Amino acid sequence: MSRPNLRQFQYTYEQDSATIYGSFVVGDLGAVDSFQGGGIESIVLQDPPVAATFTGQVAGMTTDVTLTAVVPGDAGNSIALVGDGTSTLAQLITAWNVANPGNTVSLTSGSGSQILDNAAEIDLADGSDGSLGLYDIVLSSSWNKLMEVQSEVVLATVSGVCNLQILQTNTSVQAAVRARLPISLEAKGFNGNPHTIESGAEVLLRIVLRQASQNAPQG
């Protein structure tokens, strides 16, 4: 496309600088669903959410089953299926999911036709929300200096994230880019606390690095 008003040159005091434009799409509880960007090797939530599970059997059952909360996180630990002596496990799951559409459970292995004894209870456990909005970004190459990380949350509704901050000392983050170790970026809410980025949001990233080991002359 022709752009007659565009000028061709852009100057910088820095030598051998490069700009990486990347982005990532956020899934449930802040997990990274996908990312893109030339020069970015990986973007992950540092401590991803874990789904609550149950493996085993309770009174009335004859074989082990595994149940898993559909949405990872602490909330799955509240999932409890209580037998009545007549309903099958599959029926109990359906009843729970109808009553708790935001905190559903699925049978991931085993037979759902088993009937739990009256008052026998299956409790899911070990679900975790993980860290709130703390991401590790690893670059594809090593660089001599990180000069800027800029991020922008994209969402059709107002996000609870005020900004994303590099959660490292400058010494640490500069060492990280030289050794291709993670750059830690934390999403912060408007109260300044760590904040989970909304599911479905996209974060645009602009990372400016320098290949040259020599600092630009001062003054």
Partner 1 sequence: MTAGSSGAVSAFTGGGIALVHKESTAGQYTITFSDQFRRLLSVRGEMERATPSVVASVQLLMAPATLQATVISTKQIVIQCLDYAGAAVNPESGAVLNFVVVFRNSQIGPFDA
Which residues here bind partner 1, judged by CB under 8 A? 1, 3, 5-6, 21-22, 25, 34, 36-39, 150, 152-160, 162-163, 189-190, 200-202, 204-206
Residue whose CB is less far from partner 1, 144 or 159: 159
Classify residue 205 by burial, with Cβ atoms within 10 Å: 0-12, 13-18, 19+: buried
Unique residue bearing structure tokens 């001062």: 218
Nearest to 146 by CA among 186, 173, 117, 114: 173
Q: What is the rounded end-to-end Cα distance, in angstroms, of the chain?
A: 39
Residue whose CB is less far from partner 1, 99 or 156: 156
Q: How far is the CB of 118 from partner 1 (least distance, A)?
A: 47
Residue count (the chain): 219
How many angstroms separate the CA atoms of 179 and 177, rounded? 5
Q: How far is the CB of 180 from partner 1 (least distance, A)?
A: 18
Q: How far is the CB of 46 from partner 1 (least distance, A)?
A: 22
DSSP structure class, residue 76: G
β-pair type (53-56, 65-69): antiparallel
Residue whose CB is less far from partner 1, 56 or 192: 192
Q: How far is the CB of 185 from partner 1 (least distance, A)?
A: 15
Q: How far is the CB of 58 from partner 1 (least distance, A)?
A: 42
Residue whose CB is less far from partner 1, 17 or 128: 17
Q: How far is the CB of 198 from partner 1 (least distance, A)?
A: 10
Residue whose CB is less far from partner 1, 6 or 98: 6
Q: CB of 51 within 8 A of CB of 77?
A: no
Residue whose CB is less far from partner 1, 100 or 193: 193
Rounded to a whole number of angstroms, the CA Rg of the chain reads 24
E strands in 9-160: 17-26, 32-36, 40-45, 53-56, 65-69, 80-82, 105-109, 121-123, 134-139, 145-154
Q: CB of 32 within 8 A of CB of 25?
A: yes
